[in-house]
């Protein structure tokens, strides 16, 4: 038997439509965009070579999988803590933070870690790992939660 139901953990608008705006607001709060130092790549003569911030493939590999997140909310709906409401910022927001914390080009790492080092941030994650089972983009969300909690603690 197949059961169809709106995504759990979110207010239902009607039928199968859930309101995911609360999740998107949490993601936005963590500034999910690159904050680089403004220093562009230059030639040996000091001229601007390309208008982009360069990094090595190994540096890209640290966060590339996390860029696949489409903010679908499935991990949030799977999380028993997030389902409780405002108690937890949620795994999708922490994935968004982690994506930039692991980006070598980003210069706001400490501020990003501070922003999730809160009672409703990483402290609320109970490592249930239910979030890992459902991600349609192949992200091991529970493992990423574990990693970002460790980064916050080792600061």
Binding site for ligand SF4 (CB under 6 A): 69-75, 91-92, 95, 134-137, 139, 141
Query: What's the closest the beta carbon of residue 136 comes to ligand SF4, in angstroms?
Result: 6
Cα 69 to Cα 138: distance, rounded to the nearest angstrom: 9
Judged by CB, which is closer to ligand SF4: 21, or 52? 21
Q: What gap in Å lies between CA 47 and CA 71, rounded to an integer?
A: 39
Q: Which is nearer to ligand SF4, 94 or 152 (CB)?
A: 94
Eight-state DSSP code of residue 12: E
CA distance 72 to 63: 18
Tokens 């916050």 — which residue?
152
Residue nearer to ligand SF4 on the CB measure, 33 or 155: 33
Q: List the one residue out of 105, 114, 101 whose CA is nearest residue 32.
A: 101
Closest distance of CB 113 from ligand SF4, Å: 19
In the complex with ligand SF4, the residue whose CB is nearer, 66 or 152, is 66
The minimum distance between CB 151 and ligand SF4, in angstroms, equals: 17
Query: Exposure string (b/e) for 77-97, b if CB count within 10 Å is 16 or more?
Result: bbbebbbeeeebbbbbbbbbb
Give the nearer residue to ligand SF4 in terms of CB position, either 71 or 115: 71
- CB of residue 38 vs ligand SF4: minimum separation in angstroms? 29
Q: Work out how close the CB of 66 gets to ligand SF4 at its nearest, in angstroms, rounded to a whole number.
A: 8
């Amino acid at each position: 038997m197949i059961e169809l139901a709106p995504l759990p953990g979110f207010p239902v608008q009607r039928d199968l439509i859930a309101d995911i705006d609360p999740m998107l607001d949490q993601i936005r709060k963590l500034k999910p965009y690159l904050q680089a130092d403004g220093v562009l790549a230059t030639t040996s003569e000091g001229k601007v070579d390309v208008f982009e911030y360069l990094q090595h493939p190994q540096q890209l590999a640290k966060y590339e999988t996390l860029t696949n997140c489409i903010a679908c909310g499935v991990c949030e709906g799977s999380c028993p803590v997030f389902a409780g409401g405002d108690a937890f910022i949620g795994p999708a927001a922490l994935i968004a933070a982690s994506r930039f914390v692991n980006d070598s080009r980003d210069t706001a790492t400490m501020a990003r870690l501070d922003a999730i080092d809160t009672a409703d941030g990483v402290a609320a994650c109970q490592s249930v790992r239910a979030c890992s089972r459902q991600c349609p983009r192949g992200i091991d969300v529970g493992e990423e939660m574990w990693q970002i909690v460790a980064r916050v603690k080792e600061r």
